[in-house]
Structure 1
Amino acid sequence: MTTSTGTLSVDDGAAHTVREITQQPDLWREVDRIVAASRETLDAFLRPLTARGDLRVVLTGAGTSAFAGRVLQPALARDLGRRVDAVATTDLVADPRGCLAEDVPTLLVSFARSGDSPESVAATVLADRMLSEVHHLVITCNEQGRLAREHTGRPSSHVLLMPPAANDRGFAMTSSFTCMTLAALLALGGEAYTGVAERLAAAVESITGKEAVDRTAGALVDRAPERIVFLGSGSLKGLAEESALKVVELTGGALVTVADSSMGFRHGPKAVLNDRTVAVVYLSNDPYTRRYDLDIAAELRGNLPPRSVVTVSADLGDGTEGSGDDAWLLPGLGGVPDVALALSAVVYAQLIALRASQARGLRPDNPFPAGEVNRVVAGVTLHELRD
């Protein structure tokens, strides 16, 4: 049975995923209000820390939550003028002595949809054990999750809760990813991002109508690719990694995906190309960086069959965005930093993943009905760290 939401068709097994993709503009506005309402307490917690020249900021999470950190890292390093590292909880828990080798004052920013993944709490426990001074900013979508419960009320912690609807019920993280990333950007990035949530919301509302989706994600999936390459630079490399993961998740691993930087792709990963490959290149808003993105897009158009390369760009109106159905534009986002651009651009990847899943007869809300991969990671044994 197929029904219509007014924007996207909903096959059985896709209702949660469709709703969670299309609700993002409204949730971003709500996140903006939440951070604004928390500004006084956030500033009281964060400002004394970010004023310290010896502070290290570590952005951590697992899977999609780790990619939130990779999207944010370049921008926050620049905005804060401090050392900022994106370190997955899966790396931190497996190698705490390497990831936390420097005993310096640290702000650990934890991203977690549920907060119940084994690594989420373990990462904070290990940081407390290994560092002389560590503070925790917990950004989560689940008030009842273990991570939120264990850090609420602690003097060295601040828990920032996302709107309840951001706790995605579908298998793949969509609105949870963008809401947590936006919240961190607004909390740590300061006044530079005032008003950006509304601009991002308006841009996405313009691209999620059924006709627009048919022309973009639908048309790409109709080409029946067997491989999809996602490329971007800086914050948009983190976006490329999240995009690749989304397609793998929702297609149950049936589609091969590769993510890399626009320049790095030539150094080996380009070997993945064949005549059934399509490429999505995210174009930076930074004029200098954008040149490298445009270079790889042009090169790929010479390597692949016609209409196999798509660019995703803010609508700058300067001609560099390209034209036609292979230039996917985000209106009203000229001049926004790439870290913010990524939050609207990722919706295109979410739509590709959704359409590709449906095209294979899968149920996007649960593309692994046998439980090979779980919505909340299971089966992890946490081992004792011995001194």
Structure 2
Amino acid sequence: MTTTPQSTATDVPAQEDGGATILEIGQQPDAWREVATSIDPRAEGFLRDVTAHADLRVILTGAGSSAFAGEIVAPALRHHLGRRVEAIATTSIVASPRDHLEPRTPTLLVSFGRSGNSPESLATTALADEIVDDVWHLVLTCDENGTLARAHADRPDSLVVLMPERTNDTGFAMTSSLTSMMLSCLLLLGPATRDDAETLARAAQHVIELQPEIRALAGAKKQRFVYLGAGPFEGLARESALKLLELTAGEVVTYFDSPLGFRHGPKSVLDSDTLVLVYVSTDEYTRRYDLDIIAEIRAQLGPDSVTVISAEPLDDAIVLPGLSGLGDSSVALAYLVFAQYLALFTSLEHGKTPDNPFPSGEVSRVVKGVTIHPMTTGR
């Protein structure tokens, strides 16, 4: 895969101007184009043979944002492949492997990992090798020197797909790394095409041009942010909430849910200092529930307390043009760029250093302190 050098230290804006994080968010349109034009034909052959198994199970796995990537793309892969596709976090698999791994079910384990150095990432692939009779691995990562990439580089039952070098984000939060891995997965196993990647890149460029409006939202300095979305957008809402929580170092309360689920108790979080963001589905049926919750919360808190992101023309919404015809798993990439900017600008409003919002090390870019315990019982 063609690589592009990362910015040097002298090129990076000051932390109060967004640091490396603002560059890494803004590079996504070009990074997606690069991902789409550099798919190795050998990858397509490997996956064609694996997905030909009629009883194949596909597990999408990762930790944190990488886990949420699986939640977002899983529905598209399920429809496209006609196979059982599930998103299960590495943290869940490592803690309770026999609850999630099926010995006699042929399995393709798709691992998302920015660096591939999270302890649970390698442990999950090792557990799959130990427990599952027939298992193949697809590793999507941004670091060819990471532990996960090196462990699977020369295995005949594994395929390592590297993202453009510049997407190995140096900032704390996963931005271009996350969306590039998601796009790669949709291109390799889902319905996405190179034309779709170009469409998404143009939509992301539109979001980049909306930075003044997004800064204004952050400037209101709301103390609670609620993200709502259905289907693939529930994973998107979860990732959006995490991004803002991370970059504000937990100073701002965030929550996520589906529009229907939100009414069942979680709606109690709403107050006058809350901003609600609703991701409107491209599916006509699902969209009805999105519109219902928008109207309900606007009536309760007022119109300025709800921000609506839509791919279709909609009154009082931020509309990302040109996305008609794409499913929610794909559209989520463009919506994510909006969420990333909102998290970044809210971080700056609270005086944080976005490239390292935890300067004392309470939370690290690659998780530390995890002990991987050996399995001591046989099958």
TM-score normalised by L of structure 1: 0.92
Structure-1 residue corresponding to 2:146: 145
Is 1:256 the counterpart of 2:241 in the alignment? no
1:15 corresponds to which letter in structure 2? G
For residues 114 and 332 of structure 1, the distance between their equivalents in structure 2, rounded to whole angstroms, comes to 33
Structure-1 residue corresponding to 2:4: none
Q: In 1, are the aligned partners of 2:223 and 2:252 still within 8 Å (CA)?
A: yes
Change (3 A) 1:13 1:145: farther
Q: What is the SS of the residue equivalent to 1:138?
A: strand
State the 1:12 CA deviation. Answer: 4.1
Q: In 2, are the aligned partners of 1:13 and 1:366 still within 8 Å (CA)?
A: no
Structure-2 residue corresponding to 1:163: 164
State the 1:306 CA deviation. Answer: 3.4
Q: In 2, are the aligned partners of 1:10 and 1:18 still within 8 Å (CA)?
A: no
Q: What is the SS of the residue equivalent to 1:153?
A: coil
1:112 corresponds to which letter in structure 2? G
Range with bigger deviation, 366-375 or 334-343: 334-343
Structure-1 residue corresponding to 2:278: 281
Q: In 2, are the aligned partners of 1:76 and 1:188 still within 8 Å (CA)?
A: yes
Range with bigger deviation, 118-127 or 102-111: 102-111
2:33 corresponds to which letter in structure 1? R
319, 322, 331: which one pairs with 2:315? Answer: 322
Structure-2 residue corresponding to 1:174: 175
For residues 126 and 366 of structure 1, the distance between their equivalents in structure 2, rounded to whole angstroms, comes to 32
State the 1:43 CA deviation. Answer: 2.2
12, 15, 23: which one pairs with 2:27? Answer: 23
How much is the aligned-residue C-alpha RMSD, in angstroms? Answer: 1.4
State the 1:10 CA deviation. Answer: 5.4
Structure-2 residue corresponding to 1:373: 363
Q: In 1, are the aligned partners of 2:16 and 2:348 still within 8 Å (CA)?
A: no
For residues 186 and 272 of structure 2, the distance between their equivalents in structure 1, rounded to whole angstroms, comes to 39
For residues 384 and 52 of structure 1, the distance between their equivalents in structure 2, rounded to whole angstroms, comes to 31
Structure-2 residue corresponding to 1:4: none
For residues 229 and 156 of structure 2, the distance between their equivalents in structure 1, rounded to whole angstroms, comes to 39
Is 1:335 the counterpart of 2:325 in the alignment? yes
Structure-1 residue corresponding to 2:230: 233
State the 1:201 CA deviation. Answer: 0.7
For residues 9 and 279 of structure 1, the distance between their equivalents in structure 2, rounded to whole angstroms, comes to 30
Q: In 2, are the aligned partners of 1:13 and 1:364 still within 8 Å (CA)?
A: no
Q: CA-to-partner distance for each residue in 1:178-236, whole Å, 9 max, x for gaps?
A: 0000000000014x534111111111112213xx2122x21221222110000111111
For residues 245 and 332 of structure 2, the distance between their equivalents in structure 1, rounded to whole angstroms, comes to 19
Is 1:213 the counterpart of 2:211 in the alignment? yes
Is 1:354 the counterpart of 2:344 in the alignment? yes
Q: CA-to-partner distance for each residue in 1:108-149, whole Å, 9 max, x for gaps?
A: 000000001100100000000000010000000000001000
1:54 corresponds to which letter in structure 2? D
Structure-2 residue corresponding to 1:270: 267
For residues 196 and 33 of structure 1, the distance between their equivalents in structure 2, rounded to whole angstroms, comes to 12
Change (3 A) 1:227 1:202: same
Q: In 1, are the aligned partners of 2:35 and 2:164 still within 8 Å (CA)?
A: yes
Structure-1 residue corresponding to 2:304: 307
For residues 302 and 310 of structure 2, the distance between their equivalents in structure 1, rounded to whole angstroms, comes to 21
Alignment of 1:185-224 (within 5 A): 185-190=186-191, 192-209=192-209, 212-215=210-213, 217-224=214-221
Range with bigger deviation, 180-189 or 41-50: 41-50
State the 1:102 CA deviation. Answer: 5.2
Q: In 2, are the aligned partners of 1:13 and 1:363 still within 8 Å (CA)?
A: no
Structure-2 residue corresponding to 1:111: 112
State the 1:88 CA deviation. Answer: 0.2
State the 1:101 CA deviation. Answer: 3.7
2:25 corresponds to which letter in structure 1? I
State the 1:13 CA deviation. Answer: 7.2
Change (3 A) 1:330 1:87: same
Q: In 1, are the aligned partners of 2:226 and 2:255 still within 8 Å (CA)?
A: yes
For residues 9 and 372 of structure 1, the distance between their equivalents in structure 2, rounded to whole angstroms, comes to 24
18, 40, 62: which one pairs with 1:14? Answer: 18
Alignment of 1:117-136 (within 5 A): 117-136=118-137
Q: CA-to-partner distance for each residue in 1:248-294, whole Å, 9 max, x for gaps?
A: 00000011111111111111111111111110000011111111111
2:238 corresponds to which letter in structure 1? E
Q: Which runs of 5+ in 2 are unaligned?
A: 1-11
Alignment of 1:21-60 (within 5 A): 21-35=25-39, 38=40, 40-60=41-61
Q: CA-to-partner distance for each residue in 1:286-324, whole Å, 9 max, x for gaps?
A: 11111111111111111213300011011x34xxx213x
State the 1:103 CA deviation. Answer: 2.6
Q: Which runs of 5+ in 1 are unaligned?
A: 1-7
Q: In 1, are the aligned partners of 2:229 and 2:279 still within 8 Å (CA)?
A: yes
1:337 corresponds to which letter in structure 2? G
For residues 155 and 291 of structure 2, the distance between their equivalents in structure 1, rounded to whole angstroms, comes to 48
Q: What is the SS of the residue equivalent to 1:142?
A: coil
Q: What is the SS of the residue equivalent to 1:240?
A: helix
TM-score normalised by L of structure 2: 0.94
